[in-house]
Amino acid sequence: MENMNLIDTFSEFKDLKNIDRATMMSVLEDAFRSVLIRQFGTDENFDVIINIDKGDFEIWRNRVVVEDDMLEDPAKEITLTEAKKIDEDYEVGEDVTDEVKFADFGRRAILNLRQNLASKIMELEKDHIFGKYKKRIGDIITGEVYQVWKKEMLVLDDEGNELILPKSEQIPSDYFRKGDSLRAVVIKVELRNNTPLIILSRTSPVFLERLFELEIPEIFDGLITIRKIVRIPGERAKVAVESYDERIDPVGACVGMKGSRIHGIVRELRNENIDVINFSNNLQLYIKRALSPAKISSIRILEQAKRAEVYLKPDQVSLAIGKGGLNIKLASQLTGYEIDVFREIEEDDEDVNLEEFADEIEGWVIDELKAIGCDTAKNVLALSREDLITRTDLEEETIDEVRRILRAEFEQ
């Protein structure tokens, strides 16, 4: 009965898809030979025959026949008397091959072998999963949500392997329930307590890059190259693309007719706004494109400081800065230059530079207003109270006081 249980045990292992036949054969044979060494002190004169397809095995022992009083090594030799019990025709010096019944080794030996096999198989499974996903870092995985916790989500791939999607790697507006299908990119694979830990991400720029490759054939084929991606997950992203074929419009190809190509990507990213722009080695042109949809009047590049001073007409400032400052922040990340926005004002003898109010308005408040492109009194008053509160870190009371002081200047 124990022998049958053992056969059933390793017969199940042959169905594992992650372990190739040669490796499985080697593991099984090593496990049997380790038991033989414990039982007989050696495994050199044993043949282990395993039939994975049938889930069966045989062990044959080879010994040399010696005279009854010449027996020195029972593991490798057999007396003539014992040999004749097997077959009357055996003579001294001949080789005797007889089958060893594993069940005769006892219950403990069989139990140890089963535990050894289970341990080896588990190690092989872990090694396979670790190696498989180590090669797939940067690839998109489609999985099924199995469990949702506060700080992370457990996802199963199509082979039942466990993957982790941390809360920090989820788009803020992501909402998944058990059984839902999701797509994410593999960003990290590590061993924790000798167990593979596969980390997924939906916020990585690599995820957006892979989605572009899936949805846009020209990128997949290498006709269009993605030069850089920056994003604030769930809010906005900027993608710089370039084509080496003048006949291909990279932006048009990525967006598609009426946005048909990029629509699927936007939907996958929970309506994240995606700006696709043409990459250029001309820094001024690149910065202008990065600040789209704002129209830039002029740019001053400060190479050593890695800064760019951008001048715009008053009605373009809000477009350049964007909601919550996202547009200018992403443009800076995309170009690698810190971008300062300045209003291009028409000559106005009545307007007053903010520095003139230094005796009434604190310097840090003036600096905060300059940071959003307001250099003069009329620049500030041109913005509504709500705009000033939203774009600056100033308190409402401070905004009200500043507006009062500036209005007073023109009422005099």
Which residue from 356, 368, 334, 335 is spatially nearest to 406, judged by alpha carbons? 356
237 CB-side CA count, 13 A: 27
Identify the pLDDT of residue 277.
95
Class of domain 2-124: alpha beta
Residue 103 has pLDDT above 80, yes or no: no
pLDDT in tens, 363-397: 899 888 888 878 888 888 888 888 888 888 888 99
pLDDT digit string, tens, across residues 169-194: 999 999 999 999 999 999 999 988 88
Pick the residue with more confidence: 177 or 76? 177
The confidence band for 250, taking pLDDT boundaries of 50, 70 and 90, is: very high
What number is the average pLDDT over the span 293-307? 90
Tell me the Cα Rg of the chain. 37
pLDDT at residue 262, rounded to an integer: 94
> For the stretch 346-361, what's the b/e string if a residue is b when 16 or more beta carbons lie within 10 angstroms of its beta carbon?
eeeeebeebeebeeeb
**Residue 4 pLDDT:** 44
Per-residue pLDDT tens digits for 330-353: 999 999 999 998 877 555 556 788
**C-beta contacts of 317-321 below 8 A and 24+ residues apart:** 317/341, 317/343, 317/372, 317/373, 318/387, 319/293, 319/294, 319/295, 320/291, 320/294, 320/296, 321/372, 321/373, 321/391
DSSP state of 176: -
C-alpha separations of 335 from 59, 99, 322 in Å: 70, 76, 17
44 or 104, which is more confident?
A: 44
Of 36-45, 78-87, 110-119, 243-252, which range is least confident?
Answer: 110-119
Which band of pLDDT confidence, cut at 50, 70 and 90, is reported for residue 70? confident
pLDDT at position 171, please?
Answer: 96
> Regarding predicted confidence, which is higher, 42 or 287?
287
User: Residue 143's beta-bridge partner residues?
Assistant: 182
- Average pLDDT (133-148) is 95
Confidence of residue 32 (pLDDT cuts 50, 70, 90): confident
pLDDT category at 210 given cuts 50, 70, 90 is very high
The span from the CA of 54 to the CA of 51, in Å, is: 6
pLDDT confidence tier of residue 2, bands split at 50, 70 and 90? very low
- Pick from 179, 195, 187: nearest CA to 146: 179
Whether 296 and 288 have beta carbons less than 8 Å apart is answered as: yes
- Collect all residues with Cβ–Cβ distance below 8 Å to 131 and sequence separation of at least 6: none
Alpha-carbon dihedral sign for residues 405, 406, 407, 409: positive
pLDDT at position 245: 85
Q: How confident is the prediction for the chain on average, in pLDDT?
A: 86
pTM of the model: 0.68
In sign, the C-alpha dihedral spanning 320, 324, 329, 331 is: negative
Superfamily of domain 136-201: Nucleic acid-binding proteins (2.40.50.140)
Among the ranges given (47-51, 127-131, 269-273, 302-306), the one the predictor scored with the smallest mean pLDDT: 47-51
